[in-house]
Amino acid sequence: MKKKVYLGVDVGSISINLLVIDSNDTVLFDSYIRGQGNPIAAVQKGLKELEQNIPDDVEISGVCVTGSGRSLIGAVVGADIIKNEIMAHARAAIHLHPDVQTILEIGGQDSKVTIIRDGVVVDFAMNLVCAAGTGSFLDSQAKRLDISIDELSNKSVLSENPTDIAGRCTVFAESDMIHKQQVGHKQEDILMGLCHAMVRNYLSNVCRGKEIKTPILLQGGISANKGIGRAFSEALKADITIPQYNMVMGAFGAALIAKNATIKQTRFRGFDIADHSIATGSFKCKDCSNLCEVIEILDSNEVIGRSGGRCGKWENSYETT
């Protein structure tokens, strides 16, 4: 008899993350894949990699999908449960660090703070508007300096005198960087200044009115950046914990949710969907004056899911929050 394992998928704006746990919560597989603007292809790539690395004596017995693209990819993989990323990240954080009180999570296009007290989420906030508080802020500035994001991370922590960068807006930050370069500031000082600017923006916008208590976890793609960890520690005057599986915490939390749910028969569509021709289309619903544009997910011209309607009539019948 095959052992039951559970798959979590986190579909973000920049990366697609997959993680599998067994019934003892042991991680058997995890993967961080750049989406490159095509989440379906990225998930198919991840499933191929998973199939090649998962033991032969196990079977996927539950699937939970989270993240900004959860509805789309939930239909593609055959999700049993769809959850929002706040709950998924919190579930993983509490599992690894039961005493956590604050989660700082910064993605490529949005950023979040989650407040936890006694193992329960009591408050959260999200920033979906300003790029200066997200990972894309650092990505764009690294490209302008013609360095990789890894170089930015390693060089920034060498700074002994971080430059003061105007980070309230990506446009102002770029012009300020050019000026600081022209007057002779060291590159590592400019890079650390960028990290400080992003953290200031995040704390003043996303965390406004929130009580940031320790222990504090920093997770998400940006948590791999050493300069950001240092900037948070200096700004909050507190230790910052980078948890294990920090890059794939959303997928880890989703896998835990799937494992702890009551799933009699999984909807997982199998590993062979990695080779299917999956596309999307759309149509305008004319059932009311809203005229919603509904997205259809097609597998070899067969409709496997729909999303996008305001009233929810076209959504898949998943357990969603």
Average pLDDT of the residues in 152-166: 89
Residue range 26-34: mean pLDDT, rounded: 95
Check whether 19 has a pLDDT greater than 90.
yes
Same domain, 43 and 113: no
* Chain CA centroid to CA 99, Å: 22
Same domain, 163 and 107: yes
In a domain, 215, yes or no: yes
Pair 104, 228 in one domain: yes
Report if residue 315 sits inside a domain. no
- Enumerate helices (H) and strands (E) in the chain, giving the number of each: 9, 14
CB 295 within 8 A of CB 278: no
Residue 168 within a domain: yes
> What amino acid occupies position 243?
P
Q: Is 211 among the domain residues?
A: yes
In a domain, 303, yes or no: no
- For 254, half-sphere exposure in the C-beta direction (CA atoms, 13 angstrom radius) is 33
- Are 31 and 122 part of one and the same domain? no
Q: Could you identify the residue written with the tokens 């690294």? A: 142
Regarding whether 210 and 112 lie in a shared domain, the answer is yes
Q: Are residues 24 and 121 in the same domain?
A: no
pTM (two decimals): 0.89
* 309 within a domain of the structure (yes/no): no
pLDDT in tens, 77-102: 999 999 999 999 999 999 999 999 99
- CATH of residue 192: 3.30.420.40
What is the total count of domains within the chain? 2
Find out whether 100 and 218 touch, Cβ atoms under 8 Å: no
The three-state (H, E, C) secondary structure of 81-125, written as one string:
EECCHHHHHHHHHHHHCCCCCEEEEECCCCEEEEEEECCEEEEEE
- If pLDDT is split at 50, 70 and 90, which confidence band does 166 have? confident
Q: Domain limits at 25?
A: 3-87+251-275
Lowest mean pLDDT segment, chosen from 105-114, 154-163, 167-176, 260-269 = 167-176
Q: What is d(CA 185, CA 194) in angstroms, rounded to the nearest whole number?
A: 13
Contact 268, 6 (CB under 8 A): no
Using alpha carbons, list the distances in angstroms from residue 279 to 56, 163, 198: 30, 47, 37
Is residue 32 over pLDDT 90? yes
Do 131 and 159 share a structural domain? yes
Q: What percent of the chain has pLDDT over 90?
A: 53
Q: Measured between alpha carbons, how far is 43 from 48 in angstroms, rounded to an integer? A: 9
227 shares its domain with 144: yes
CB 59 within 8 Å of CB 51: no
Last residue of a domain, one of 198, 219, 242: 242
Give the residue from 260, 156, 252 showing the smallest Cα distance to 198: 156
Cα–Cα distances (Å) from 270 to 57, 202, 207, 242, in that order, read 15, 40, 41, 33
Q: What is the pLDDT of residues 206-252, one digit of tens each?
A: 898 999 999 999 998 888 899 999 999 999 999 999 999 999 999 99
| Same domain flag for 145 and 237 | yes
Q: Are 141 and 194 in contact (CB under 8 A)?
A: yes
Among 242, 267, 292, identify where a domain stops. Answer: 242
How many angstroms separate the CA atoms of 45 and 40, rounded? 9
Both 112 and 234 in one domain: the answer is: yes
Which of the four pLDDT bands, split at 50, 70 and 90, describes residue 197?
confident
Residues 104, 227 share a domain: yes
Angle at which helices 226-236 and 187-205 cross, to 10°: 60
For the range 183-186, what are the long-range contacts, defined as Cβ-Cβ under 8 Å and sequence gap of 24 or more?
186/159, 186/161
Domain boundary among 224, 242, 260: 242
In a domain, 180, yes or no: yes
Same domain, residue pair 75 and 139: no
How far is 242 from 48, CA to CA, in rounded Å? 29
Q: In what order do the strands lie in the sheet with 27-34?
A: 27-34, 15-22, 3-11, 58-67, 81-82, 319-320
50 domain-assigned: yes
